[in-house]
Amino acid sequence: MMQVYCRVIEAGNFSKAADQLDLSRAVVSKYISALEKRVGARLLNRSTRAISMTEAGQVYYQSCMDILNQLNRLETELASMQNTIKGTLRVAAPVTFGEMFIAPRLYEFLEQHPELSIDLRLNDRNVSLIDEHIDVAIRIGEPEDSSVIAKPLGIIGHYLCASPAYLDKYGSPESLSDLKKHRLIFDKPKLT
């Protein structure tokens, strides 16, 4: 309604304002009447040929213009933020993965985005994205939380390894079912 009121003032009458706003004259008139009712004051003096602002209308118009100008500045600022990466990006990752793949690439990434800072948190536990204010987490394995948006970055192979001394003592497994008879460090790895 503020915008409609300001347009009426700037256009000088309801008809021109209605055309500029792509509304009917009746709708513009209803908006102004509803606005006057809501603020509890008459904002416009109306005649068949012209409109003029009341004292309350002048105060309201100036306040509306201040608010609308602030809103325009805010929208412009927000739009520019969408085109610029800035602020702090909180990243959680497993220690080894972070040291091998993330840390070596940070300098170049930050050079490309000078208004961005990275808060890199390396540890081998599944951090809570919400509780710890994490923006992005790199995890190995399937996500436990079905509400998390997960995108695969790659595939990690799993290897079964044993020392020669272990194999001499316990023998080599011939099939997957043979693994049940062996002493495994991780029979079902908990990956982060």
54-69 confidence digits (pLDDT tens): 999 999 999 999 999 9
| Neighbour tally for 124: CB within 10 Å | 14
Residues 6+ apart with CB under 8 A from 32: 1, 4, 5, 8, 14, 43, 44
126-138 confidence digits (pLDDT tens): 888 889 999 999 8
Question: Rounded to an integer, what distance in angstroms lies between the CA atom of residue 165 and that of residue 183?
Answer: 13
* Residue spans per domain, the chain: 2-82
pLDDT at 180 over 80: yes
pLDDT at 154 over 90: no
Question: Rounded to an integer, what distance in angstroms lies between the CA atom of residue 46 and that of residue 57?
Answer: 12
CATH of 2-82, one of 1.10.10.10, 3.40.190.10, 3.30.2130.10, 3.40.50.700: 1.10.10.10
28-54 confidence digits (pLDDT tens): 999 999 999 999 999 999 887 789 999
Q: Which residue has the higher pLDDT, 77 or 10?
A: 10
